[in-house]
Amino acid sequence: MLVLSRREHQSIMIGDDIEIVVLDIRGEQVRLGIRAPKDVPILRQEIYAQIQKENVEASETRPEDVPE
């Protein structure tokens, strides 16, 4: 894992087309802005994990589990 320190209004680049900007810092909470192409999905980790879990569960569905 790469760990970087940034101050408010500073940013980091991921590749040539994704920029992450520190918008605000309040106590232990940090607000980030993300500039990325529209075709790049951006999800909170907990939402991403839930989608992955649902995809695994859906792939395990057997034909007899689906009503006709």
pLDDT tens digit sequence for 15-66: 999 999 999 999 999 999 999 999 999 999 999 999 999 999 888 877 777 7
pTM of the shown model: 0.73
Can you say how many angstroms the Cα of residue 52 is from the centroid of all Cα atoms in its chain? 12
